Structure 1
């Protein structure tokens, strides 16, 4: 009897920073295995925003890719609230309803003759492995942050709590150095924020801390000859050789990235609508090479009026042309009735700058006019900038962003980290100083050279026969698939 047709169920949390790499992986799985099927699934509310009718359930790629939602127990997904425990409440619903709904989805797919053979899930879904195991299915974690962040979490949750004790004891000192096996000394300010700010049950993101903890909450293997648990990682061997090596004894780490858009752009469905006209691309066409400062702080960033004013003032004082992304909802809250900020900029653009609500980021970063990216250092944005060879000014806020900034500045040497004041505001003078640091002639030459080297390394990894290409091919052919609870093989 012939083996069943490979069918990957790719599950992800309903945030843009999770959806983007998960959907890109789904398409890469299809490309790596021509006979495979893939079902991509996130929560119903996010699904409706991403895939409005008639695309809601319409199969794609000749029927090989299906887009099917699961329930998080709510009608409209998480809604921002003044209640500091609102998100933790949502996460409780997400875990309970999500596990139940995904189980039902697996049954329904099998009944239709599209039985799933492997479940692939991103972080914040620790229950996905349990759901798969209960139905006798293989599962694998897809880590959508740096391998270095995975290593930090591993040592924190499974390293005898020495790291955890040091972090708690010295939490008041952001410069305190934590020493973890196989990693360079790391200051507390560079560690994932959920380890330094969200361990208290009263914290608004404590449920994120516990979800990540649960990923690593499994019993050691009794059978030493059993295969190590496999983790797909959205990075490449060339970018993070040290961190990957540090985890090699514990896990079968398979770097398969950086996962970037396909040439068609079909995988870029998202929660936010891009500007329909591409005036910003025409605007970029008229700028000299490496002259434009591109600014975007991702899909989650909340921006107060003071911060927007400081941001635009710093850009204008830099004397360089800039393209700045201000999300539609933020823009509606912060712009004056006549459509300007107090800094006087409009979304129509002028000779010095342009403000847009959303854009095709990879297309912008690939434009030769862009010479610097001011970024929150989300991992997707960081990888896209590296892949396009663009130096960065890093303004990290939470989660892995601080460690991503550390990689950019200290490991890859393609950017500089901007210091945010105690009030959480990036001041105009600091932004201007860091932009000048990255783009002034002597520094710009060095950083652009380093960025160009990393760009070539990433292209080689993703190319036919490259390190990431080989790892993904090995995975889809059946190697390195985990079965069980959490990361347990």
Structure 2
């Protein structure tokens, strides 16, 4: 029987991008049929002219599922939102599976993303194997595994961010380096709910340990020790970095404008600044970034999304209007930007997509972690030797002088900067070797597809 993977993900840019890039790679490497399903709201942003209709793009079909929030207006009660997603989403996804079966296109395996444990239950109810698509680092997976298997009290007993913490099989860390959803103690904090959802994900993996598979968006040469931290029966396969120069993008972009601008700049001369699809700038932080970039004397490309608000956007426009060195855009095709020879530094929040893309493109990083897994990724970049972390003040703001100092430390002429650039090039080569034909990630992906042909749900 032909492989037919149903790939399910939340409709957020940071979830859609790695899931769709994995889908493309599965289709390209194995010739499998792929049905890609994200929320109706996310689908509409990907295909504005198609509403909630099915879309076909080569070997990939796009069929959205409803999460009960089809207009994209999220319920302010996050608990209610996720509960409704589980209830409505389960029914909607079941309907998709039945429809595909009735067409003679039965799904053979369901691949689901983080915070979607209920999808595994839907797959089981339909007699299908499910696979967990881990879109963060293997180190964060290992930290979560330890936390949910006895280390929660150890973490919660320390509130000093500088306290060293040691987990079996992992590099030494401090409390401040852990994902924020593991360290918060306020149960009303939004991260407390995220931790609960991750717990549900890991409960499913424990329940189905003998058959569970995890696809990790990393590669063996980068995180060998962390990949080994898992349950005895749980199989984790590194198949990354999964990335593409062609989107997907849930935001509008003017690609020709900024790519032509980059073409006009000297090699390694541009500072690229983006804090991803979730984080917005406080006014003061925007002011400090603008002054810090100006202080470097270097050209810069700065992503300031439209949802940052008019006050911040107006401030940024004023700061950049009087000089030719800066360009501000609402969104970028990030891999294309990072692959451009003119880009010499990436100032980033350190989401895993941005972190792994910086490695694969060989671009040194100035880390400005905000929340979730970002502090861990910032620490990893320091360990891998490709970046430095900018320190914040008591309000969590990176001041202009600190930003300028960090940019100089990776783009300057000193020995430290040269070593960071050398390490960045080294990891770029290793990442590309991993995904090339015969590389570790390529072999793992092919082995995964072969194994799934033998898996049956009892």
User: CA offsets, 1:294-348, max 9 Å, x none?
Assistant: 1000011121211111111100011111111111222534233xxx5386213xx
Counterpart selection for 1:345 from 310, 320, 329:
320
- Paired position in structure 2 for 1:269: 248
- Paired position in structure 1 for 2:361: 388
- Paired position in structure 2 for 1:87: 78
Single out whichever of 204-213 and 463-472 deviates more from structure 2.
204-213
1:66 aligns with 2:39: no
Counterpart selection for 1:76 from 66, 71, 94:
71
- Paired position in structure 1 for 2:36: 40
Counterpart selection for 1:168 from 156, 159, 162:
156
Going from structure 1 to structure 2, the CA distance change for 1:374 and 1:480 (only over 3 Å counts) comes to farther
- Paired position in structure 1 for 2:213: 230
- Paired position in structure 1 for 2:306: 328
Going from structure 1 to structure 2, the CA distance change for 1:249 and 1:274 (only over 3 Å counts) comes to same
Counterpart-to-counterpart distance in 2, 1:243 and 1:252: 13
Going from structure 1 to structure 2, the CA distance change for 1:246 and 1:318 (only over 3 Å counts) comes to same
User: How big is the shift at 1:286?
Assistant: 2.1
User: How big is the shift at 1:258?
Assistant: 0.2
Counterpart selection for 2:2 from 5, 26, 30:
5
Going from structure 1 to structure 2, the CA distance change for 1:54 and 1:341 (only over 3 Å counts) comes to closer
- Paired position in structure 2 for 1:157: 148
Counterpart-to-counterpart distance in 1, 2:456 and 2:275: 37
Counterpart selection for 1:246 from 229, 245, 254:
229
SS in 1 for 2:6: strand
Counterpart selection for 1:359 from 316, 319, 332:
332
- Paired position in structure 1 for 2:405: 433
Counterpart-to-counterpart distance in 2, 1:227 and 1:46: 33
Equivalent residues of 2:304, 2:330 under 8 A apart: yes
Counterpart selection for 1:114 from 74, 88, 105:
105
Where structure 1 has 5 or more consecutive residues not aligned to the other structure, the ranges are none
Equivalent residues of 1:17, 1:299 under 8 A apart: yes
Counterpart selection for 2:291 from 304, 307, 313:
313
Counterpart-to-counterpart distance in 2, 1:220 and 1:368: 45
User: How big is the shift at 1:58?
Assistant: 2.4
Single out whichever of 114-123 and 88-97 deviates more from structure 2.
88-97
Counterpart-to-counterpart distance in 1, 2:422 and 2:456: 43
Structure-1-length-normalised TM-score: 0.88
User: CA offsets, 1:432-484, max 9 Å, x none?
Assistant: 11111111212221111111110000010010111000111111223498777
1:99 aligns with 2:90: yes
User: CA offsets, 1:152-176, max 9 Å, x none?
Assistant: 1001112xx2x21111111x20111
Counterpart-to-counterpart distance in 1, 2:14 and 2:205: 30
Q: Which has the higher helix share?
A: 2
Equivalent residues of 1:106, 1:115 under 8 A apart: yes
Counterpart-to-counterpart distance in 2, 1:480 and 1:429: 56
Going from structure 1 to structure 2, the CA distance change for 1:358 and 1:329 (only over 3 Å counts) comes to same
Counterpart selection for 1:123 from 114, 120, 131:
114
Where structure 2 has 5 or more consecutive residues not aligned to the other structure, the ranges are none
Structure-2-length-normalised TM-score: 0.94
Counterpart selection for 2:166 from 152, 164, 179:
179
User: How big is the shift at 1:220?
Assistant: 5.8
SS in 1 for 2:110: strand
Equivalent residues of 2:180, 2:191 under 8 A apart: no
User: CA offsets, 1:367-424, max 9 Å, x none?
Assistant: 11111100000111111111110000000111111111111012x1100001122212
Going from structure 1 to structure 2, the CA distance change for 1:448 and 1:219 (only over 3 Å counts) comes to closer
Equivalent residues of 1:373, 1:393 under 8 A apart: yes
Equivalent residues of 1:147, 1:233 under 8 A apart: yes
